[in-house]
A and B are shown apart, each in its own frame.
Chain A
């Protein structure tokens, strides 16, 4: 009897597992990840798996382009007995699908220093425009200690800390291009005096009272931030221990890692002129740990004061209004010698007799 019971349960288990995996494999074209995520999307899988990173965050994964191609595009030939048979499924090589990037990267000075996976988690990939600057630099910080980087760069780079805080490493170490200014919202606990950190979705949701969080800045909901909205938002932030932190980020990323010689010359950025500073975005955290951006009215970065009170890039973000005021001041000073000198010249005879000393 007991024996029969055992056999019965054994069959049930086989059937469950068989249909389970059968279903998941059959479903693959439409929902390519569901079957696998039943196990790999559970945090407790880490307890049984040999590889502690076998857990895949379903929220982050579902936002990636890789989730569209599905698990088996990269892990083909998952054995039918998976996972009990002990065979670990194969893993694709990035270069199979990203040939050009792979080639470019392998040829670069960094090609032998880190693999694709050291900088990318294949289950959490995102395009650079859906990431915050902090996050992108965080990839490098895994191996390049930020403090040491600041130290080594300060040997030749004035205000190295400021530069490293507001630039991406890849802006100087790859030929990534099409720079824009990304303004992200940072916060800190009031009165703590600690460093500002990226504001989380939850924090901003409180500010927006449950409405779409973009409403806290894009008040009229036209998916475009006007200068007036930006100013109002900045004002709003000041009283809340928050700030908008601007970074110069490339929209097009390349992998040709190197020491870019022309980045020695500050004028690559600082003489790029105010035309280069026209495009900017507000970077908002999404629910899934990703980021979205909302375009800001053209030229807001160049606003005299309140557009971006904390972002200023010498040489490139000067305000035209201020230049005009400055020029008027200088012109006023210059006009005195010119006018006075003119009359002085006309009336020089009146003072002739004073010049008895040579």
Chain B
């Protein structure tokens, strides 16, 4: 016995941020590719056009990142709760989740994690998003901003070990984002339907499959003030 429940997990500001950010980062990856390999890649015509677009997209991503972190820290105050893995997550959660992705998923077992507004990410997601959002993205933003002002910031470059150090880090970080994108988009299709995770990123509502007899993990959903919406798409 089981039924479906709708849970409101992704507030509007987060959704707007996410798609702005996603669009920005994809633009950055493609323009970045042309900027590094202009003799092989020419997507945007002139080199200058690629650079201008890259700088603009970088600025958009930087601003949207500031808004994102501001929203989670100041308005929603849920950054730590949602994104920092608990000790329990690190000790067992991550392994349980990995075990699911690499084995029990193929056997048709259900996902051990259930999204609720308070615990929207599984332990692996938490760890990955934490690294991406609080370490890699700030680093890539800072290195990118510095690279937009090479001549005026030359002193800083000397302190940081030279322009090559900075360019090299920026490039490797960008490669990490590209790698993350593949994994991220793919994992997002692993819901109970391929689009199940994309819908909440669009309209905020996550569809949860609840095993009535166990009730496990659904407790929070019942205390959710929002009404259940069964047939919402």
Binding site for B on A (CB under 8 A): 158-159, 161-162, 165, 193, 243, 265-267, 270-273, 304-305, 308-312, 314-315, 318-319, 322, 325-327, 329-330, 332-334, 336-337, 340-341, 343-344, 346-347, 350-355, 357
Contact = CB atoms under 8 A, between A and B. Distances in A.
A273 B39 CA distance: 6
A267 B175 contact: no
Given A329-B176, A350-B106, A354-B108, A308 B164 contact: yes
B135 to A, nearest CB: 15
Contacts, number: 130
A354 B104 CA distance: 14
A2 B220 CA distance: 127
A165 B151 contact: yes
A325 B168 CA distance: 11
20 contacts: A158-B52, A161-B151, A267-B38, A309-B161, A311-B164, A315-B47, A318-B36, A318-B171, A326-B171, A330-B175, A333-B182, A333-B183, A336-B186, A337-B182, A337-B185, A337-B186, A347-B107, A351-B105, A351-B108, A357-B193
A333 B181 contact: yes
B205 to A, nearest CB: 14
B48 interface: yes
B51 A333 contact: no
A323 to B, nearest CB: 8
A310 B167 CA distance: 11
A279 B155 CA distance: 27
Nearest to A349: B108
B163 A311 contact: yes
B228 to A, nearest CB: 15
A326 B175 contact: yes
B164 A312 contact: yes
B203 interface: no
Contact of A333 (B38, B164, B180, B209): B180
A270 B47 CA distance: 8
Contacts of A161: 151-152
Given A159-B151, A329-B172, A266 B163 contact: no
Given A158-B48, A333-B178, A312 B163 contact: yes
B167 A312 contact: yes
Interface string B41-57: 00000111001100100
A352 to B, nearest CB: 8
B72 interface: no
Interface in B53-111: 55, 101, 105-108, 110
Interface in B147-180: 150-152, 155, 157-158, 161-165, 167-168, 171-172, 174-176, 178-180
B158 A326 contact: no
Contacts of A353: 108
Nearest to B186: A337
A329 B179 contact: yes
